[in-house]
Amino acid sequence: MPDTALPPDGWIGRPMPRAATRRLIEGRGRYTDDNAAKGELHAAFLRSPFPHAAFRITGCDAARALPGVRAVLTAEDLAPFCRSWRTQSLAFPGLVSPEQGPLARDRAVYQGEPVALVLAASRAVAEDALELVGVEWNELPAVTDVAHALDAGTPPVHQGLSSNLAWRTEFGEGDVEAAFAKAALVVEERFTFTRHTGVPLEARSVLATYDPAAEALEVRMSHQIPHQMQVHLAELLDLPMGRVRVIAGDVGGGFGIKMHVYPDEVAVCAASRLTGRPVRYVCDRIEALMADIHAREHVVQARMAVDAEGRILAFDVDDIQGLGAYSIYPRSSTVEAMSVLRTVGAPYHFSAYRARLRCALQNKVPTGQYRSVGHPIGCATTERLVDLAAAARGEDPLEFRRRNFLPEAMMPWTNPAGGRMAELSHTATLAEFERLLDLPKLRAEVAAMRAEGRCVGLGFSAVVEYTASGPAAYGRAGVPVAAMDTVVVTLEPTGDVVARASVAEIGQGIQQGIVQVVADAVGVPPSRVTIHTGDTANAPHGGGAWASRGAAIGGEAAWGAGRKLQAEILKTAAALLQSTPDALDVRDGQVVDAKGTPRMSLAELASTVFFRGHELPGGVQPQFTATHQFRREEDLFLTTNGLQASLVEVDPDTGLVTPLRHWVVGDCGRLLNPLLVDEQVRGGVVQGIGEALLEACRYDPGNGQFLTGTLADYLLPMADNAPDVTVGHVETPYSGSALGAKGAGEAGTCGAPAAVLNAVNDALGSRGARISELPVTPTVILRALGTLEAAE
Amino acid sequence: MELPDESTADIACILNGEPIRARVPLRQNLVDWLRHGVGLTGSHVGCEHGVCGACHVQVDGVVVRGCLMLAVQADRATVETIEGATSSGRIRALQDAFFNRAALQCGFCTPGMLLQAAELLAKNSDPTREEIRQALSGNYCRCTGYHAIVDAVQAAAASLRA
Ligand code: FES
Ligand code: FES
């Protein structure tokens, strides 16, 4: 059992701003593109203008002749410096995803795929040179529509494939047919989820510096998992791991977009190796929208069986995922679809489940893990069916949920979808939710607005998220992903503590959480703790930022390291004070006795050890650097739960939906820092509202051309169309760890689309319109109302 | 670096209170010049097509999009970036409020957001949430969902009125 002695009145759980944001508000952030290297070259990519084409590069001489151009590189040029790769996973045997390299060779299979690279003295000159590269394009039939990608007769996405099926599976437990046969009520819906993408405000960027004399590569990049990139760059460029250093300084948002291995970033590293010069590359926004991973393109046919008492019996779900031209490297795009299908039904008790999945290749950029991977689709599917069932039964949607929530007494329980539910607090969360919303008053307000003729709706969603993935999640799949973390803490001669951690700061505030944990574990105020993250030369290997893992996994590593350091401090102080470690404690930077009386400051102790070691008793060898590496042995995931509500107004004339208010109550275990958790929730909710109402990566249905390449076409939530978000908490610490933290960063995004979809349907219900498509654009609304003709 | 084929022009302006002369490529936009020509990296680039507001700087007292203006257009102008606004202390109340309220996460939008919010508070010392949301509607933030930013601007306005 872990050491769970959290100090009373400690720093853990206090709302504190992240100290390092002081730099950011003064314009002193150092994001990747804020670093220039002496002698650097600027890269620009020639990208395929077609979704599918054969090509031949016919001439680079004109481009090379342009003053300021240093090199024009193709796949052949980079091949000697860089291996190719192929996405594979033991979890998805037979997954079809062809070999990929840093630049396409002979054929481009998605629009935006990099085919050549120019290195020049400035980005502008590099872009000028792109226009002089001669390319013969032979456009080929492109597959973009997921609904038809698997039809017989649809052309293949890659040459030589007999079908566009990348992978398929069926799973589930229980007798689904029998459940539907005996059901008193069956509700069914076909859902369409359009692709969208993460749009971190800082685009992906990389500055690679290869030193030919040292045979070492240093890469500054905007990435969520520097240690993962170290592994892959070492392998792809055939360098010892110790000679690859990856540094992610300040990162301008990630959301899953920056956790993959992208061909262009690998190409920049290979180009630095080839030229022996630093190479800098920053995606422009058009490139980012077109060639960052997309996510969540699914067509889901789902039905739910309910008995005469209104209890859920079974779910039957068929999902076609549009995964793009390749399964994303290294984790695979299929993970998202499996996450969708594991999330269906998750808050509830049911006894039978059947899921069918087909993952379709398309001539589109690969999809990948994006904030709350797959969960929003599974959640929207479930919560819409639940609302349909409640409506069919003529009952309150929250009452239907209350009856069907998985009872606390049944947990831990593995549901028929294979999801293990543990330590969820549906009852307490619902009670807090009803208190926070003041439902009778809110319902009266909605009625009053309707009486004024306003078309408003209130929608709910119940959320269960799988967070903080354990080692088996990717480990069993044979994908090299660290689900553990390392934290190193050091007592400095001044009594200050420095922590180095393998977690990554991408704005979510994990640095501050770790500082508070270390402060409590050692016994110093947070102002005496400095943290360093994001540099492989600084912290040993670990997982970085994904799956809402920082507090639950990095936090445990920090606690363990801090306790080891405190033990060492006590041992050394006891030797100097002729006491015993048990009779002493460390509080607020002082070694204190049992009565709390200060005996010696950490500064005195540390300066003695570091500067006057001759004063130490014989045999005392203080170890004032402590390392802890933590992996969770139990529980593949940590499940979290919550409830959300959305109040929206629909303009039936224009079809515009305005989100008016949003509420969230969540249980993410122990809150290391409620201020920062609340803002994770709010930001996540608004991202989910974008998904519900605005965001879509669209392609021309005729020629497959990408249509949403600017922020005027790809719409995002802005300050004037985002609502205030009220946040509440229930705190059920995870029993299997010292701190009890679970994942918090993605739950907002998980539940918001479902709540908004239900709210829109609540608003339109009285007009007989029903919507099952995201995003709910004005066109979707007007078609549902019959004012616009349906699409063919 | 100056390249043989790159057309340039000489400009002179007041930048963060100091006179500065520079030779700039004709086609370089203002924010690129500030970031890479001068080394003031506090202004950011988020879209380069006038939607996100990450590139906001003040020119002759008005907040403008640094990606939609050429560096040569700053000739004889008075330009202030987040660095200048910080050292002059004129946005201190907003900066403190953003910090205390955790109204930033990754911080990439923050310099542009702060300059825009300061312009609002200069005109309206007691804005409503709605007015704040309108004034900041040209500044994209992916991280916060805006709620905390609106809170922070209100808190700063209150502290300035006090
Ligand atoms: S970079 Fe100027 S508005 Fe986006
Ligand atoms: S804080 Fe990250 S974009 Fe605003």
Three-state secondary structure call for residue A659: strand
Give the global pTM. 0.97
Three-state secondary structure call for residue A411: coil
Measured from the Cβ of residue A486, the count of other Cβ atoms closer than 10 Å reads 23
Segment A448-460 shows an average pLDDT of 98
φ and ψ of A148, to 5 deg: -110, 0
Which of A124, A201, A507 faces B54 most closely, judged by CB atoms?
Answer: A201
- A687 interaction partners in chain B (CB closer than 8 Å): 142, 145
The percentage of chain B sitting over the pLDDT mark of 70, rounded to a whole number, equals: 98
Contact (CB<8Å) A124/B138: no
Q: What is the pLDDT of residue A7?
A: 85
Could you give the CA distance from residue A144 to residue A368 in angstroms, rounded to a whole number?
17
Q: What is the pLDDT of residue B4?
A: 67
Task: Tokens for A452, please give them.
Answer: 């004024």
- Put residue A9 in one of left, alpha, beta given phi > 0 → left and psi -120 to 50 → alpha: left
Q: Is the model's pLDDT at A318 over the cut of 70?
A: yes
Residues 68-107 of A with CB under 8 A from B: 68
Q: Is the model's pLDDT at A518 over the cut of 80?
A: yes
Contact (CB<8Å) B47/A711: yes
DSSP A590-629: EEEETT--EEEEHHHHHHHHHH-GGGSPTT-----EEEEE
Instruction: Tell me the pLDDT band of A3, cut-offs 50, 70 and 90.
Output: low
Q: A405-441 burial by CB neighbour count: b if 16+ within 10 A, else e?
A: bbeeeeeeeebbbebebbbbbbebbbebbeebbeeee
Which among A661, A718, A726 is the top mutation candidate for probing chain B, defined by the most B β-carbons within 10 Å of its own β-carbon?
Answer: A718
Q: What is the pLDDT of residue A2?
A: 46
Which of A203, A682, A724 faces B144 most closely, judged by CB atoms?
Answer: A682
- Cβ–Cβ under 8 Å, residues A390 and A396: yes
- Ligand 1 pocket at CB < 6 A: B 45-48, 50-55, 65, 67
Contact (CB<8Å) A66/B141: no
Which of A507, A676, A685 faces B107 most closely, judged by CB atoms?
Answer: A507
Contact (CB<8Å) B136/A711: no
Q: What is the pLDDT of residue A1?
A: 41
Which among B106, B132, B136, B146 is the top mutation candidate for probing chain A, defined by the most A β-carbons within 10 Å of its own β-carbon?
Answer: B106
Q: What's the sign of the alpha-carbon dihedral A302, A308, A312, A315?
A: negative
A257 and chain B in contact, CB less than 8 A: no
Using CB atoms within 10 Å of the CB of residue A729, give its burial: 0 to 12 exposed, 13 to 18 middle, 19+ buried: buried
- B149 interaction partners in chain A (CB closer than 8 Å): 719
Task: Please write the tens of the pLDDT for every residue from B14-61.
Answer: 999 999 999 999 999 999 999 999 999 999 999 999 999 999 999 999
Segment A99-123 shows an average pLDDT of 98
Q: How far is the CA of A773 from the centre of ligand 2 (A)?
A: 28
DSSP state of A50: S
Q: A766-790 burial by CB neighbour count: b if 16+ within 10 A, else e?
A: eeebebbbbbbbbebbbbbbeeeee
Segment A339-354 shows an average pLDDT of 98
**CB-facing half-sphere around the CA of A475: CA atoms within 13 A:** 12
Cis peptide bond prior to A717, omega within 30° of 0: no
Measured from the Cβ of residue A172, the count of other Cβ atoms closer than 10 Å reads 20
Which of A28, A67, A748 faces B5 most closely, judged by CB atoms?
Answer: A67
Three-state secondary structure call for residue A506: coil
Segment A248-264 shows an average pLDDT of 98
- What ipTM did this prediction achieve? 0.98
Q: How far is the CA of B58 from the centre of ligand 1 (A)?
A: 14
Measured from the Cβ of residue A150, the count of other Cβ atoms closer than 10 Å reads 18
A433 and chain B in contact, CB less than 8 A: no
Contact (CB<8Å) B147/A725: yes
- A38 interaction partners in chain B (CB closer than 8 Å): none
- List the one residue out of A615, A589, A611 whose CA is nearest residue A600: A589
- Cβ–Cβ under 8 Å, residues A679 and A748: no
A24 and chain B in contact, CB less than 8 A: yes
Among protein residues, the one with the nearest Cα to ligand 2's atom 3 is B141
Contact (CB<8Å) B108/A33: no
| Closest residue of chain B to A504, computed from CA coordinates | B106
Query: Please, which residues bridge with residue A467 across strands?
Result: A638
DSSP state of A157: S
Q: How far is B130 from chain A (nearest CA, A)?
A: 8
- Ligand 2 pocket at CB < 6 A: A 201, 253, 507; B 104-110, 141-144
Segment A410-430 shows an average pLDDT of 98
Task: Please write the tens of the pLDDT for every residue from A712-730.
Answer: 999 999 999 999 999 999 9
Q: Could you give the domains of chain A?
A: 21-29+484-630 (3.30.365.10), 32-140+203-251+258-291 (3.90.1170.50), 294-471+634-784 (3.30.365.10)
φ and ψ of B51, to 5 deg: -110, -35
Task: Please write the tens of the pLDDT for every residue from A642-699.
Answer: 999 999 999 999 999 999 999 999 999 999 999 999 999 999 999 999 999 999 999 9
Instruction: Tell me the pLDDT band of A789, cut-offs 50, 70 and 90.
Output: confident
Could you give the CA distance from residue B160 to residue B18 in angstroms, rounded to a whole number?
27
Q: Is the model's pLDDT at A256 over the cut of 50?
A: yes
- Cβ–Cβ under 8 Å, residues A166 and A95: yes
Tell me yes or no: is domain B8-85 CATH 3.10.20.30.
Answer: yes
Could you give the CA distance from residue A781 to residue A377 in angstroms, rounded to a whole number?
20
DSSP state of A12: T
Could you give the CA distance from residue B108 to residue A251 in angstroms, rounded to a whole number?
8
Task: Please write the tens of the pLDDT for every residue from A746-766.
Answer: 999 999 999 999 999 999 999
DSSP state of A328: P
Task: Please write the tens of the pLDDT for every residue from B78-131.
Answer: 999 999 999 999 999 999 999 999 999 999 999 999 999 999 999 999 999 999
Residues 171-210 of A with CB under 8 A from B: 198-203
Residue with tokens 């479930």: A382
Could you give the CA distance from residue A751 to residue A464 in angstroms, rounded to a whole number?
9
Q: How far is the CA of A560 from the centre of ligand 2 (A)?
A: 32
- B105 interaction partners in chain A (CB closer than 8 Å): 253, 507-509, 679-680, 683
- Cβ–Cβ under 8 Å, residues B67 and B140: no
Q: A56-82 burial by CB neighbour count: b if 16+ within 10 A, else e?
A: ebeebeebeebebbbbbbbbebbeebb
Q: What is the mean pLDDT of chain A?
A: 97
- Cβ–Cβ under 8 Å, residues A198 and A371: yes
The percentage of chain A sitting over the pLDDT mark of 90, rounded to a whole number, equals: 98
Query: Please, which residues bridge with residue A355 across strands?
Result: A171, A317
Segment A546-566 shows an average pLDDT of 97
The preferred substitution site among B52, B109, B146 for testing ligand 2, maximizing ligand atoms within 8 Å of CB, is: B109
Contact (CB<8Å) A202/B25: no
Task: Tokens for B64, please give them.
Answer: 């403008």
Q: What is the pLDDT of residue A8?
A: 83
Cis peptide bond prior to A80, omega within 30° of 0: no
Cis peptide bond prior to A674, omega within 30° of 0: no
Q: How far is the CA of A206 from the centre of ligand 1 (A)?
A: 20
**CA distances in angstroms from B99 to A14, A20, A246, A527, listed in the order given:** 16, 10, 29, 16
Q: How far is A417 from chain B (nearest CA, A)?
A: 32
φ and ψ of A239, to 5 deg: -120, 150
Contact (CB<8Å) A711/B133: no
Look at strands A185-193 and A196-197 and give their pairing. unpaired
Q: What is the pLDDT of residue A4?
A: 58
Q: How far is the CA of B109 from the centre of ligand 2 (A)?
A: 5
Q: What is the pLDDT of residue A147?
A: 87
Could you give the CA distance from residue A368 to residue B114 in angstroms, rounded to a whole number?
33
The percentage of chain A sitting over the pLDDT mark of 70, rounded to a whole number, equals: 99
- List the one residue out of A118, A137, A144, A115 whose CA is nearest residue A44: A118
- Cβ–Cβ under 8 Å, residues A170 and A268: no
Superfamily of the domain at B90-161: [2Fe-2S]-binding domain (1.10.150.120)
Could you give the CA distance from residue A430 to residue A199 in angstroms, rounded to a whole number?
33
CA angle A398, A401, A402 (to 5 degrees): 85
Contact (CB<8Å) B145/A725: yes
Which of A67, A200, A683 faces B145 most closely, judged by CB atoms?
Answer: A683
Task: Please write the tens of the pLDDT for every residue from B63-85.
Answer: 999 999 999 999 999 999 999 99
- List the one residue out of A418, A391, A373 whose CA is nearest residue A170: A418
**CA distances in angstroms from A416 to A300, A303, A582, listed in the order given:** 19, 15, 50
A688 and chain B in contact, CB less than 8 A: no
Contact (CB<8Å) B142/A124: no
Q: What is the pLDDT of residue A791?
A: 64
Domain with CATH 3.10.20.30 in chain B: 8-85
Domain with CATH 1.10.150.120 in chain B: 90-161
Q: How far is the CA of B61 from the centre of ligand 1 (A)?
A: 19
Q: Which helix (H) or strand (E) holds A47?
A: strand A41-47
Task: Please write the tens of the pLDDT for every residue from A52-83.
Answer: 999 999 999 999 999 999 999 999 999 999 99
Task: Tokens for A761, please give them.
Answer: 């349907």
Contact (CB<8Å) A26/B42: yes
